[in-house]
């Protein structure tokens, strides 16, 4: 089973590209969605978060904006939150991979914003990065209603886009038309998922002797 990793900065188009793979029947593991499920009411991450960040969980509900403010203001707080979340996200990823193997999936996609930061390169056969010009990235996240200053702070704490592009095996440009992105995904699928295995070389003993082959 081919394990494809997908990463990219905030608003670069990870979810959009992941859905293009999903549409081509590649099972997708969404790290952000896993984080959200773990932090939802009743989620396993709520108790450790409440203990590490007093006041952000009230009546069993996490105030995500308050937690985001902690994380953006203080690198130690971010490391604390990541230490809580990453172990749980990895456990969910392991379960996902086992289930996909059991189902006989030919390839899977791991959509992980912090793929490179968490050493994920070593766990994937192919690392993809989605990338768009910074102005496009900011305009997209502004449309979601996040204030400009906060977007800048999130981008500043992420690995620079140029570094992600350098470390990736392939880059998917998402700053051009959607059609361009769809074509690129189709091309990557053809090259890395559907390319037939090279024909096995026939064992030597079954080959015709030279003299007969020439005739
Ligand atoms: C800080 C939190 C509460 C903010 O929640 P919010 O709903 O505002 O944002 P959301 O979860 O949708 O994330 C939006 C984007 O922010 C970026 N982001 C999130 N966490 C981080 C992080 N620790 N470092 C860098 N970028 C991050 C990603 O690009 C992500 O796609 C939340 O993102 C969180 O718990 N993050 C820590 C867990 C983590 O490390 N997530 C990354 C997945 S491997
Ligand atoms: N060619 C394209 N490829 C991908 N996304 C595009 C493209 N053109 C426009 N978009 C838009 O850009 C936005 C990208 O958002 P998306 O949620 O996919 O990014 P993300 O990387 O998952 O973000 P986050 O890190 O915040 O979770 C979407 O609104 C999408 O419609």
pLDDT in tens, the chain (215 residues): 999 999 999 999 999 999 999 999 999 999 999 999 999 999 999 999 999 999 999 999 999 999 999 999 999 999 999 999 999 999 999 999 999 999 999 999 999 999 999 999 899 999 999 999 999 999 999 999 999 999 999 999 999 999 999 999 999 999 999 999 999 999 999 998 876 566 666 655 655 555 555 54
CATH number at residue 181: 3.40.50.300
Segments forming the whole domain that contains residue 165 = 2-214
Residue in 10, 15, 150 to alter for ligand 2 test, most ligand atoms within 8 A of Cβ: 15
Residue 60, both tokens: 């069993």
Cα of 213 to ligand 1 centre, how many Å? 64
User: What is the ipTM metric for this complex?
Assistant: 0.93
pLDDT of residue 207: 56
* CB-defined site of ligand 2, < 6 Å: 8, 10-17, 32, 113, 140, 174, 178, 181
Q: Kindly state if the Cβ of 68 falls inside 6 Å of ligand 1.
A: yes
Residues in contact with 122: Cβ distance below 8 Å, sequence separation at least 6, in sequence order:
none
Q: Give the Å distance between the CA of 15 and the centre of ligand 2.
A: 6
Instruction: Name the domain count of the chain.
Output: 1
Q: By the 8 A CB rule, do 1 and 105 touch?
A: yes
């Amino acid at each position: 089973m081919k394990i494809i990793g997908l990463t990219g900065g905030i608003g670069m188009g990870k979810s959009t590209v992941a859905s293009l793979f999903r549409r081509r029947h590649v099972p997708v593991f969404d790290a952000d969605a896993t984080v959200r499920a773990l932090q939802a009411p009743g989620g396993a991450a709520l108790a450790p978060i409440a203990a590490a960040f007093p006041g952000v969980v009230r009546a069993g509900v996490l105030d995500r904006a308050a937690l985001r403010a902690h994380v953006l203001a203080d690198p130690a707080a971010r490391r604390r939150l990541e230490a809580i979340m990453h172990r749980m996200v990895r456990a969910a990823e392991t379960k996902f991979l086992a289930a996909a193997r059991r189902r006989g999936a030919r390839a899977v996609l791991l959509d992980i914003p912090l793929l490179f930061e968490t050493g994920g390169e070593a766990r994937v056969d192919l690392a993809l990065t989605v990338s768009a010009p910074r102005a496009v990235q900011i305009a997209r996240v502004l449309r979601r209603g996040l204030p400009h200053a906060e977007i800048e702070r999130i981008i500043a704490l992420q690995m620079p886009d140029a570094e992600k592009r350098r470390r990736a095996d392939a880059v998917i440009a998402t700053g051009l038309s959607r059609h361009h992105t769809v074509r690129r995904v189709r091309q990557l699928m053809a090259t890395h998922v559907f390319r037939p295995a090279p024909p096995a070389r026939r064992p030597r003993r079954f080959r015709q002797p030279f003299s007969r082959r020439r005739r």
